[in-house]
Structures are given as structure tokens and as C-alpha cells.
């Protein structure tokens, strides 16, 4: 969902647009994944070179390589019109061997040279396999975040899931090692924020520390019949025991705090 929604915005209409076929993902919305390294030669097309040169201006970094990330066409071809989604909510994380890109409800694993390491993954099916007890029928995955944690050698992937009534919940997946390839037993799934009733958990953020994994998001109450929407009811922050997640605990310890009523 778009970040930073303001007073009176029509969330119901926004959700309806997200649940039906939607517009295209443009190349600049990261259809480009890039690696930067000092002193490396630059040999890429003009558009990504211009964008990334601006990002690295004055840093002493040059563009080592660039390549196309996940496209809308590839998502629809792989999984059907249910993946015809925008905005892309693109996320990219780099590990020692692989790059992981999450685009709304699609996951892609690349080598650091830009080769697709494995077939695209449908995140709806991915989380349904990991937590069939927790992801209700009719819920759609969105708002991904992905982080590689060097200390543990694990990948952490968070999402929100919601339905047309704005019931929602937040989920977290943890890889079993440094290879993020989606295979049986390679990831574990957890529910962080339990299912809400007509409250949208919007754009959960993800951070990894030495001893904990932290997620935070805004809660938006559902719109009334006349589509008048309230401001956020509260912001939630959850801390989950990292050792439990990495160790594969079925229910790692977690705590919750809010800046309003929880």
C-alpha cells in the first residue's frame, strides 16, 4: 500500500484497486538492480547509469554492473493476472553470493552478476505453504521487506496480508541459511502481528539487530460506509527473539509496544 496515507484518503477504494488488475511496473521503479564497487568500469545503458550516478555522486563509487530486475510481464506470465499490481513496492537486499528482490507478491533470487538463480516465487503461495494455519483464504500479500543479516547468515522477509474488508496480519519468513532459494524446508514462517478486524497493518518496516528482529507499522481503521477514513489509530512495534527465529523455534518470544492504545 502507498506509504504515508493522510486524513480522509479513500482506503477502501485503494484496496479495491489493489485487489483487481492494475497498471504497469515501469523500468525505473526498480527494474534495475545494481552493484557498486570502487574503481570498477562503467558499462551500462544510459538510464540506469544516470540514476545510479546521481545516487553515488561524490562517493567515489562507480557502477560495476546492472541488470533488469523483475518485470510486470514476467510476473503475469508466471502467475497470472493476479500479479498485475502497482505500485511495485520494490525491495532489494544483497548477500555475499545472492541478491533477493521482492516486488509486491513476487520474489526473485539473482546472482550478484545478475543471473536469475531460481524461478520466480509467488509470495502468496510461499506464505500459504509456510503458514497454512495462519493465512486465510482471500488474503493477498503486499508491502514486502527483505534483509540479509550478515551476523546470522540468514535472510529475513516480512509482508502484510489483507483482504477486501481490511482485515490484515503481518508475517515474517526466515531462511535456513545463506542460500535464499525457495525449496522445501529452506524457510520458516511466523505470524508477528495477529489478524485484525477491519484494521489495515500498513507498510511494515523490518530491521535486524544482534539479538532481535524488529517490525513496525501503522494501523489504519477501515473506512466507513461513506468512505470517510480516519487517521492512524496507532503505530505498532514488535520485537522478536532473533535466536529463536534462527534456531527454528515454533513460537519465538516476542513483545509489542504502541504509541497509542494497543
Residue 232 or 188, more confident: 188
The Cα–Cα gap between 137 and 128 comes to 9
Maximum mean pLDDT: which of 64-73, 209-218, 224-233: 209-218
- Residue-wise pLDDT for 12-47, tens only, equals 333 343 443 333 333 333 333 333 333 333 333 344
The Cα–Cα gap between 64 and 117 comes to 19
Residue ranges of domains in the chain: 11-26+69-258, 32-68
* Contact status, residue 166 vs residue 141, Cβ threshold 8 Å: no
The predicted structure's pLDDT at residue 56: 52
**Which residues, at least 6 apart from 176, have a Cβ–Cβ distance to it below 8 Å?**
154, 185, 186, 187, 188, 248
**Which residues, at least 6 apart from 106, have a Cβ–Cβ distance to it below 8 Å?**
70, 75, 78, 79, 83, 120, 121, 122, 123
- Residue-wise pLDDT for 164-188, tens only, equals 888 999 999 999 999 999 886 799 9
**Which residues, at least 6 apart from 177, have a Cβ–Cβ distance to it below 8 Å?**
153, 154, 186
**Which residues, at least 6 apart from 203, have a Cβ–Cβ distance to it below 8 Å?**
1, 3, 143, 160, 217, 218
Amino acid at each position: 500500500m502507498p506509504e504515508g496515507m493522510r486524513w480522509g484518503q479513500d482506503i477502501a477504494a485503494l484496496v479495491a484497486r489493489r485487489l483487481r488488475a492494475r497498471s504497469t511496473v515501469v523500468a525505473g521503479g526498480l527494474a534495475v538492480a545494481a552493484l557498486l564497487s570502487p574503481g570498477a568500469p562503467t558499462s551500462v545503458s544510459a538510464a540506469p547509469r544516470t540514476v545510479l550516478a546521481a545516487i553515488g555522486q561524490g562517493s567515489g563509487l562507480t557502477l560495476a554492473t546492472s541488470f533488469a530486475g523483475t518485470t510486470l510481464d514476467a510476473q503475469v506470465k508466471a502467475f497470472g493476472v493476479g500479479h498485475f499490481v502497482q505500485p511495485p513496492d520494490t525491495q532489494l537486499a544483497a548477500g555475499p553470493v545472492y541478491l533477493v528482490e521482492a516486488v509486491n507478491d513476487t520474489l526473485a533470487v539473482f546472482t550478484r552478476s545478475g543471473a536469475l538463480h531460481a524461478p520466480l516465487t509467488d509470495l502468496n503461495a510461499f506464505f500459504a505453504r509456510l503458514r497454512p494455519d495462519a493465512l486465510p483464504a482471500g488474503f493477498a500479500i503486499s508491502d514486502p521487506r527483505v534483509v540479509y543479516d550478515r551476523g546470522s547468515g540468514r535472510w529475513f522477509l516480512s509482508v502484510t496480508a489483507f483482504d477486501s474488508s481490511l482485515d490484515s496480519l503481518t508475517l515474517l519468513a526466515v531462511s535456513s541459511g545463506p542460500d535464499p532459494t525457495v525449496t522445501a524446508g529452506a524457510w520458516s514462517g511466523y505470524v508477528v502481528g495477529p489478524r485484525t478486524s477491519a484494521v489495515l497493518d500498513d507498510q511494515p518496516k523490518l530491521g535486524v539487530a544482534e539479538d532481535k528482529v524488529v517490525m513496525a507499522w501503522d494501523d489504519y481503521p477501515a473506512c466507513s460506509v461513506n468512505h470517510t477514513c480516519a487517521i492512524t489509530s496507532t503505530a505498532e512495534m514488535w520485537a522478536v527473539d532473533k535466536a529463536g527465529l534462527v534456531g527454528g523455534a515454533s513460537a519465538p518470544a516476542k513483545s509489542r509496544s504502541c504509541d497509542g492504545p494497543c
